[in-house]
Amino acid sequence: MRYVADVVATMDEDCRVHRPGALDVAEGRIAWVGAAADAPVTRGLGEERRVGGLLMPGLVNAHGHSPMTLLRGAGDGLPLERWLSEAIWPKEARLTPEDVWWGMQLGCSELLRAGVTSTCELYLHSGAVADAALAAGIRCVLTPGIFDLPGAGPQATWQRLLEEAAQLHADLDGRDGLLRVGLGPHAAYTLPPDGLAAVAKVARELDALVHVHVAETRAEGDAVRARHGCGVPELLERAGILDGRVLAAHAVWVADDELDLFARQDVAVAHCPQSNAKLGSGVARVPAMIDRGLRVGIGTDGPASNDNLDLWEELKLAPLLARAVACDASVLGAVEALRLATNGGAAALGLDCGSLAPGRVADFVRVELEDAAFVPAQSGEDILTLLVWAASSRLVTDVWVAGRHLVSGGVCRSVDEPRARREVATRARRLRES
């Protein structure tokens, strides 16, 4: 299949923009991309679709708990520690796998409609998360949550959850070419040191990604320092976590020497500006991370601390906050922000999506250009800049994952969203009342 569009934004190394551009897709991967006039004459290519608008890689959500659609809006106004212990964990302890399946289905529909084609998920009842993601057709890095969930009893101890995660890795890693399975030790403050060390050992054996909340709030760092005599990054290093492939979510309160440690150990970061702002946690030092060559992606976090799964909002907020904090308009350019949301996230997760280049998976989205947001763009770079500052997810009309057309006309075809909304509303009421 060949797609011809008015604009193709590759988000490759050089951020090339082709106007008009063509994209050839075969067997779920990109076979060729370039200026439409240069498109090769290929026998047996099949259909050519003129889609107009702009094609670009799908966005990569580097940190999410999408089934938390069930808890959307819970605990507004509380700081992280009270938000977790009073508004979130008591409800999560009562979740069933069916609740999580429906929560994830609704989350997938919301993500896909916003042009998000990959998501890194850390949650409970991970088998249900995997099934719901595969049913929706979204690309997913599943990192089953591992910690002692307060109030959940022996079903949710870190030992039990680590065993289940390793089993899920054996059963599901690589499924449908869409699902990767890693490990999700919740945080340094919700797992004992021997739990962190056990996770590190299993992760090394499986060569699995470790996805962990790191230094999200100042209070987290203070508590870890009081208990263990060192900061969160050093505690993770002592436990052996940093010896493997690591994705650190948030990393708001990290000092220069801790960022240097991340750089030495090639730790990737998922920056979640909106969740950090809503919970009053602070602003991560993204420019300092990029200066050190860290792989950085951006994430929505869960829809109870955001409160939606629209990564376009993060895409705009990340550079806005970085500039506001630095009092410097030259910090974190719009094209760089776009790179973080696509290729940067893919690199952070170890996925071969995030740019339109031959050999990469065919995860791409169409953005409507017939909109005031793109007037009066002149150059290709103008269009990329306005994608960040003026456009939004409302202009995403179509979404493909591995070449499969999942969203058309702004509607997610792979999820029964009206049913998912009803199911989540009913189940959320039960969680609130019981």
In the complex, which residues of this chain contact Zn ion (CB under 5 A)? 301
301/423 with CB nearer Zn ion? 301
CB of 249 to Zn ion, least distance (A): 5
22/214 with CB nearer Zn ion? 214
59/386 with CB nearer Zn ion? 59
CB of 65 to Zn ion, least distance (A): 6
168/270 with CB nearer Zn ion? 270
CB of 281 to Zn ion, least distance (A): 11
121/301 with CB nearer Zn ion? 301
104/401 with CB nearer Zn ion? 104
**Phi, then psi, of 50 in degrees rounded to 5:** -90, 110
CB of 124 to Zn ion, least distance (A): 13
- 42 to 5, 10, 371: CA distances (angstroms): 18, 21, 34
Cα 192-194-196 angle, rounded to 5 deg: 75
CB neighbours of 221 closer than 8 A, spacing ≥ 6?
215, 231, 232, 253
CB of 194 to Zn ion, least distance (A): 23
Tell me if residue 415 falls in helix, strand or coil.
coil
- Residue found under tokens 């107009």: 52
CB-nearest residue to Zn ion: 301
Helix axes 126-136, 97-113, angle to 10 degrees: 40
217/414 with CB nearer Zn ion? 217
CB of 102 to Zn ion, least distance (A): 20
CB of 169 to Zn ion, least distance (A): 21
275/385 with CB nearer Zn ion? 275
The secondary structure element, H or E, covering residue 55 is strand 54-57
- 79 to 282, 301, 387: CA distances (angstroms): 11, 15, 32
- Whether the bond into 185 is cis, omega within 30 of 0: no
Quick one: residue 168, left, alpha or beta (phi over 0 = left, psi -120 to 50 = alpha)? alpha
Helix axes 193-206, 158-172, angle to 10 degrees: 10
Tell me if residue 277 falls in helix, strand or coil.
helix
CB of 191 to Zn ion, least distance (A): 15
Distance, in Å, from the CA atom of 331 to the CA atom of 324, rounded to the nearest integer, reads 9
CB of 63 to Zn ion, least distance (A): 6
40/79 with CB nearer Zn ion? 79
CB neighbours of 374 closer than 8 A, spacing ≥ 6?
383, 386, 390, 391
Gyration radius of the chain over CA positions = 21
CB of 171 to Zn ion, least distance (A): 25
CA nearest to 185, candidates 209, 150, 167 = 209
Count CB-CB contacts under 10 A for residue 73: 12
164/301 with CB nearer Zn ion? 301
Distance, in Å, from the CA atom of 54 to the CA atom of 338, rounded to the nearest integer, reads 14
Cα 284-81-243 angle, rounded to 5 deg: 55
CB of 283 to Zn ion, least distance (A): 16
131/301 with CB nearer Zn ion? 301
